[in-house]
Amino acid sequence: MKKLFVYVVKTIIRNKLVRSTIALLILSQVAVAQTRLVAVREPVVSTASVKHIGNPEGSVVFQVQYDNQAGEKFFLIIRDNDGNVIYQDTYSDKKFDKKFQLPQGETDKLQFIIKGPRNNTIQTFEVKTHSRMIEEVVVRKVN
């Protein structure tokens, strides 16, 4: 009877030890996976900006600025809401500053994409436009 008791106790201890070891291994793998995930999602330092300048006579104007200190080649791509390329060109200006005049009403969503040197960095700006016409009529008594 004593041998059976010792066997049961050893089995229980062994099972708890095995479960603890497995749990520890799983937790360590999850921690490693989360560390890798965080490393992948590091934010890109924004060196570009897209600003709305105005709407002259049925068009919309945007100003794109990009600080390219190394003077390396980069790509500027403008896409519409269907993903079609409206504009694409390559530049190597150190202080890029250019205005783009696009027809108003053709698309309600634009995407400005700047691909850095050797495609190591990609900065994307999404522009959504909403046009509304407000007609206001004011009637007032003069006398």
Q: Which CATH class is domain 48-128?
A: mainly beta
Quick one: average pLDDT of 46-62? Answer: 86
Q: How does 58-89 read in b/e, with b if 16+ C-beta sit within 10 Å?
A: eebebebebebeeeeebebbbbeeeeeeeeee
For the question of whether the overall pTM of this predicted structure is more than 0.85, the answer is: no
Give pLDDT tens digits for 64-117. Answer: 999 988 888 999 999 988 889 999 999 999 999 999 988 877 677 899 999 987
